[in-house]
Amino acid sequence: MPYVSACAKVNLTLELLGARPDGYHEIRTIFQSIDLKDQLYLEPAPSVNVTCSVRELENEENLVYRAICRLQEKSGCDRGIKVFIEKGIPIGMGLGGGSSDAAQTLLTLDRLWGLGFGIDGLLPIAMELGSDVPFFLQGGTALGEGRGDQVTQLRSLPIMWLVVLCPPIELSRKTFRMYSLLTDQHISDGSLVDEAVECINKGWFNNKYLYNVFEHVVSQEYKGFDDMVEAFVQAGAERPCLSGSGPALFSFVKDKTAGEVLCEYLQEKGFLSYLIKTVTRE
């Protein structure tokens, strides 16, 4: 059965610019693909069938299922497909697993079904499915504006190593609840993202640009989160940063060896952690 990989992401910088008339929030963020993946196995079928290694994701709200149905509607194609999702990206952590799965499904079916949409043609469908989905149509390093769905590709960063820590925290309606905690005092002008973009387009990135607006409010929803950050720092993390609306944290390390030491220490303490490298668009 053929398969495709769907990479996760982290947000290097995430600023809130204000509320939007449509009820969403205006943000500026820098997305970065990382080598933490789901695998999607696809084969022709008489109808649409989506299964997953995590059984609770087997429902019609699954973004892969919704992506297939929306693509059928837009294209007029009534062909079926069977998809099995092997989860490797932790769920509900702010790493974009579901969005990445949906984007890879759109790209793969566009090829398999010979629809000819291409990335530009798939973009409106991706925007309907979720704010992060458009980024995953190309991945790499990119600027996200609007709801995060207006994506501009940036120069690819050199390969960098990072450790991702996933706290044992679950929160229903997470994204909605996290945004509801943000107030006018958390609004900024986007200048930090501007500085980071300038830095990236010169071919490098500095940890001083790591920023996530949700770090101001995350401990209000994730009990024990501050203790988790402290444990990460004590383990040797230089600048832990939240990804998306969390609760996953990540920290860049100077090389693979340093990352192995940090990751091994965290795992010995019982934390779910991964040593990962960044992924370029190419």
Query: 3-state class of 233 per DSSP?
Result: helix
Q: Is 254 a catalytic residue?
A: no
Distance, in Å, from the CA atom of 10 to the CA atom of 243, rounded to the nearest integer, reads 5
Which of 9, 37, 110, 149 is catalytic? The answer is 9
Q: Is 35 a catalytic residue?
A: no
> Integer distance in angstroms from the first to the last C-alpha of the chain?
25
Distance, in Å, from the CA atom of 148 to the CA atom of 131, rounded to the nearest integer, reads 5
Which of 38, 101, 110, 132 is catalytic? The answer is 132
Query: 3-state class of 275 per DSSP?
Result: strand
- Give the tokens for residue 17: 């610019």
Distance, in Å, from the CA atom of 137 to the CA atom of 120, rounded to the nearest integer, reads 9
Amino acid in the structure at residue 165:
L
DSSP one-letter string for 77-123: ---EEEEEEE--SPTTSSS-HHHHHHHHHHHHHHHHTT---HHHHHH
Please give the positions annotated as active site: 9, 132
